[in-house]
Structure 1
Amino acid sequence: MPGVTRSKACQCCKRRKIKCDEKWPTCSPCKRTKLECPGPSTVVKFVHDTQAQSTSDSDQDSCSSEITAVGSNSVSLHMRKIVHRQGGSYSSFRIRSTAPRISTRPKLTTLSDRIAARLVSHLDRSQEYGITLRLGYLPFLPQRISHSACLRDCVALFCAAWSNYRGRWQAGRVVTMSNYSKALRTLRNTLRGDQALSVETLAAMTLLERTEALFDWGQERCSAIHAHGIGHLITKKGYVDMNDELDVELAKENRGLLLGYWATECGKPFTGDARIIDAPEADIDGGEFWGTDELKPYLESALAITGGSYGSWTQWLQDAEGIQQDPFGSEMLDRATCLRPQLSHAAAETKQCLESLMESTLDLGTLTREDDPDSASGKSYGFKTAALAQLFNGLLMLRLVSLRISYDLSVIYGSPDTELYSEYQEVCGNAWMCISYLRKLDVSVSAAFLGPYSACIEASSEKEMDALQSIIKTMDSYLDRGLVGTEEPAHTALESENIYAFQSLGIE
């Protein structure tokens, strides 16, 4: 701490930083410069803690008051009035809450809580359906994560891969090995324990398969292995709890995998709980999901057709494969006789549903037919929501497959039906008109949509084939971006989805 000043030099000399001879009443430096010498400086120091009071004409008098407002939440109103000596005045106030501050967000104390919050954050930031369109069970996972360690680690893997995908990570590195191996370890331990047949374990296996299918481009995929495990677990589980929304959503998600598993592993159609196959396709009350609430009457019939067709697909394909191997055997002739009216009925029912749905959506504006110079027909379809596009494509592909199998049967028995083939080409033309919309979706979603389009390739024109190749190359350049140390990807986007789709239907 500095000591008390001992110099009595005048303030003029101190400001000029020169030596003062202290000859009073006027020191020599002040006399030479003809300045009025202020005299010796004081050596006494006054120290106080009070705030200095203003002595100018702007001195103020102030008063304050506090009022508590009446209500469910106590609020204090603090007012302050300032009055100047010259007559002016002003007032200020501040509103403060007297209630204790309560955090609106609970503290995330456990790892399960933090992972659940991360998943909710991803779902909240998803402005369009995109990836979540293919994962309808995601909204039911946050509250179930704490019930299962394997579900917790699989959700953590999915969230990390989704973040890396949005961050444009290099293909092949989006799914990190550390998270992937941890999810596999906890899943293995769970399958050896008491929770092997729980809904949470099925959700973990399903999410693990979808994570690889959506994000792990550029790597060799294990879809067949995951599909086998999921099919085996559902078969062992044996039932669907219709009061559990997660169980119902998982049944809808895994219908294709289950039918393919039963066709390839068991060699027969699915004979388990019919509710697994006939689970409701979707909630038709969500106007935002479909674009408008006025579509409800048309959606009921459309969803009934698409949902009810899953039980027939495997049987159709198995019968068609058996007929192709031995078309003139007595058993196969009987199968062909029974199969043809079933396919004709399915094609006619789907056609009627498509026409009514298209008419209603065009009138309501949820479906538009636009001029498109890049399309082979010069027209393209525009959909208000991705869910409506998915339903429309599903109906188109159902009709296309039934027509194609019927035409192939007519060729096998020596009487090609040209009318069936013309109708097949017409359906393919409608399907090609959806490609422009698919370009606007997230790449991983459009890749899933394009898988069934392989059935349209035979009927495609040169311009349609060029358009399909263009979108496939665009997707591959995005999904396989920046591959390091890889001469060529294992499969293109379309090839990978075709492999997955055909395996789901029991076709090698």
Structure 2
Amino acid sequence: MVGIPKSNRCTFCKLRKTKCDENWPTCGACTRAGKVCSGARNNFKFVVNGCHNEAPTPKSSDSDDASVSSSGDGSRAHGPVSRRASPGGTIIVDMKEYTTASGTGTFHRMRLTRPHRPRHLNCSRSTPSPSPSPVMSPSELLSARFVACLEAAKGTGNDLLIWGPSIKLVPQRLGSESPVLRHTVELVVTTWSNSQRELSPETWLDLRLYTQALGSLQKALKEPEQSYVTDIIAAQAMLQKVELAYDFERGTNEERHAQGLIAMISRGGPWQGFNDLGLQLTFDIYYNMLQGDVRLGRDSVFMHHEWAMAFKQAIDSSTLRPALKAMYRLWVEVTVWPTLARLVRMLCQDRSDTMTAAELVLRATPVLDYLENENETTFSSMMKSGDIVEVENLLDPDLFPTCYQFRDIDTAKLFYTHALFSIIIARTLQEANTVLEHYAPNLMKRCREYSRRIWMSYPYMRTQRPLAIEYTAALAFAYESANEEEREFCVRSLEDMEYFRRPPPIGRWIEATIMANVKGYTGRVPFIKSQDVTVELCGLGCRC
């Protein structure tokens, strides 16, 4: 027996001088020709009595053999193909037995293959080989991780959609390879994942990724590329929400984030043409921008007629569902909030300024009328359709026998935000009426009614912890209309909603700190840049 090095083709293909598709155990050429394929010839071919292992003739097989084909050279082969794994599980032995016509000897040909290259007995050229798994880019992997986070906590307080519907559109922007957006999403994914583990809240925020994201944002804001403006807005909005939700100590950047967001959105002008992500991002962070304007005592850049018309046109032409459209229209109407707070501050400095009081009434009354109309139309419709329902209150049945349940978090946010601004606008009007000596008891009644709505929303919002932090503002504004028992409820609820925040946003929720914030954001006390708690405890102002 002589061993001769051979090519990797089977004998039939080599004799024909054609390429073998190596679709073992029977290649495509041998299948079409009705030949018995010699199989892979990785090491040696054998010659016995002058005969190669050419196509053999049929012969009956033993119990382990399968049928064989014949050829004209007289050699016969047992066609069984038996695959046996070695004890280590790493080698497969493929053995055929041949009997030559020109001699009495027999020989076996063995083929050693690795199991990670599976071969099927009945495969043919017509059977397509499985395509390799596509290689995902880093951005695609990050997008997949982000989507997994969005889908992992639906219906829980860790549902990132609480931050606003715009967040579900962010993954599709990761393909732009914008460093600022990619670094911010990495921070969000890691921090959110930490919050799901058995870790203390102090360790949720990944400081390395936070520093990286903040650095990328600062760099992007210096020389923003036009194609990345939406990415920068998305990154800045998420970074601000991460700070407020997971580490309030770094919420000191809130004012800078608000100014940056205003600058980036206003950069394109009122008629820039908002895509879905741009429109939703703008209104998902609208409260934070208006809040920043109130603290700085300036009017919002978006209160001008051109911006209001552009926003309304974009909302009407969008494909958003009714609850979101109603929410965004509400934000357009309450853009006057910073202006009203500024006018109230002027009245507090001069109680004889009737001109300022008259301007305040002129600006606030249309907004209050709009809010009342929304109550009679939008919310009446939602209650009839079952989007908002009253159910038995199991948390505080003695205080509130029933409470509200909502179709989803967007409906709940629309409901309590409407109540929040109904209270804010009514409070500013009360200040104007005091100067003008107008008696309007309906304003106090309205504040009481909408405060009760906020309290009755608490059982639902409590299930949205820890990310539903904006609801705490509504609870705080409802405090002023409460009786003693209801105020105790408000304090408990505020502490309960923010139990995980480290450090607590204002130290401790007590009457002095609550009222300082309520009066500060309605213009009745000034904002003072200080960490001195006596500023709030003594009623001098609101710390910022």
> RMSD across aligned C-alpha pairs, in angstroms?
4.0
**Counterpart among 124, 135, 140 of residue 164 in structure 2:** 135
Aligned AA (1:474) = D
Deviation of 1:266 after TM superposition, in Å, equals 8.1
Distance change in 2, residues 1:422/1:489 (3 Å):
closer
Distance change in 2, residues 1:243/1:386 (3 Å):
closer
Distance change in 2, residues 1:406/1:357 (3 Å):
same
Higher mean C-alpha deviation, range 433-442 or range 134-143: 134-143
SS of 1:380 mapped into structure 2 = strand
**What are the within-5 Å matches in structure 2 for residues 149-160 of structure 1?**
149-160=179-190
The aligned counterpart of 1:32 is none
The aligned counterpart of 1:360 is 381
Deviation of 1:357 after TM superposition, in Å, equals 3.4
Deviation of 1:390 after TM superposition, in Å, equals 0.9
**Counterpart among 252, 256, 268 of residue 283 in structure 2:** 252
SS of 2:165 mapped into structure 1 = coil
The aligned counterpart of 1:318 is 342
Distance change in 2, residues 1:95/1:465 (3 Å):
farther
The aligned counterpart of 1:491 is 506
- Name the TM-score, length of structure 2 as normaliser: 0.63
The aligned counterpart of 1:23 is none
Distance 1:269 1:341 in 2: 17
Distance change in 2, residues 1:420/1:267 (3 Å):
closer
Aligned AA (2:388) = L
Alignment deviations for residues 360-394 of structure 1 (CA, whole Å, 9 cap, x no partner): 33332222212326152322111121111111112
Aligned AA (1:313) = W
Aligned AA (1:491) = I
**What are the within-5 Å matches in structure 2 for residues 93-492 of structure 1?**
98-102=127-131, 106-109=134-137, 111-128=138-155, 130-145=159-174, 146-193=176-223, 195=225, 198-217=229-248, 221-239=252-270, 241-261=272-292, 267-270=298-301, 274=307, 278=312, 296=322, 302-303=326-327, 305-329=329-353, 333-372=354-393, 374-375=396-397, 376-445=399-468, 447-480=469-502, 489=504, 491=506
Aligned AA (2:347) = I
Distance change in 2, residues 1:497/1:305 (3 Å):
farther
CA contact (8 A) 2:391 2:403 kept: yes
CA contact (8 A) 2:368 2:426 kept: yes
Distance 2:135 2:316 in 1: 34
Deviation of 1:218 after TM superposition, in Å, equals 6.2
Alignment deviations for residues 3-29 of structure 1 (CA, whole Å, 9 cap, x no partner): xxxxxxxxxxxxxxxxxxxxxxxxxxx
Distance 1:237 1:499 in 2: 37
Alignment deviations for residues 420-467 of structure 1 (CA, whole Å, 9 cap, x no partner): 21232222222221112111223221x321212212112112232222
Distance change in 2, residues 1:342/1:220 (3 Å):
closer
CA contact (8 A) 1:262 1:270 kept: no
Distance 1:95 1:470 in 2: 70
Aligned AA (1:456) = A
CA contact (8 A) 2:220 2:232 kept: yes
User: Using CA pairs below 8 Å that are at least 6 residues apart, which structure has the higher relative contact order?
Assistant: 1
Alignment deviations for residues 24-57 of structure 1 (CA, whole Å, 9 cap, x no partner): xxxxxxxxxxxxxxxxxxxxxxxxxxxx956xxx
Paired residues, what number? 403
Alignment deviations for residues 338-370 of structure 1 (CA, whole Å, 9 cap, x no partner): 432543343233223213334333332222212
Distance 2:198 2:520 in 1: 29
**What are the within-5 Å matches in structure 2 for residues 73-84 of structure 1?**
none
The aligned counterpart of 2:91 is none
Distance change in 2, residues 1:327/1:440 (3 Å):
same
Distance change in 2, residues 1:397/1:266 (3 Å):
closer
SS of 1:102 mapped into structure 2 = coil
CA contact (8 A) 1:428 1:456 kept: yes
Deviation of 1:494 after TM superposition, in Å, equals 6.9
Aligned AA (1:127) = K
Alignment deviations for residues 222-278 of structure 1 (CA, whole Å, 9 cap, x no partner): 312322333343444545642532222222233334445556658344167616765
Distance change in 2, residues 1:182/1:423 (3 Å):
closer
Deviation of 1:503 after TM superposition, in Å, equals 8.9
Structure 2 gaps of 5+ residues are: 1-60, 69-120, 528-544
Deviation of 1:305 after TM superposition, in Å, equals 4.7
Deviation of 1:160 after TM superposition, in Å, equals 0.7
Aligned AA (1:379) = T
Distance 1:493 1:136 in 2: 31
Higher mean C-alpha deviation, range 267-276 or range 171-180: 267-276
Higher mean C-alpha deviation, range 198-207 or range 187-196: 187-196
Distance change in 2, residues 1:478/1:256 (3 Å):
closer
Alignment deviations for residues 119-165 of structure 1 (CA, whole Å, 9 cap, x no partner): 12212324238331323322332232233111111111111111111
Alignment deviations for residues 52-107 of structure 1 (CA, whole Å, 9 cap, x no partner): 956xxxxx99889xxxxxxxxxxxxxxxxxxxxxxxxxxxx99999234236x742
Distance 1:261 1:479 in 2: 21
Deviation of 1:415 after TM superposition, in Å, equals 4.6
**What are the within-5 Å matches in structure 2 for residues 52-91 of structure 1?**
53=62
Aligned AA (1:108) = M
Distance change in 2, residues 1:460/1:62 (3 Å):
same
Distance 1:263 1:469 in 2: 24
CA contact (8 A) 1:136 1:249 kept: yes
Distance 2:237 2:516 in 1: 18
SS of 2:202 mapped into structure 1 = coil
CA contact (8 A) 1:323 1:335 kept: yes
Deviation of 1:179 after TM superposition, in Å, equals 0.6
CA contact (8 A) 2:465 2:497 kept: no
Sequence identity percentage: 17
SS of 1:491 mapped into structure 2 = coil
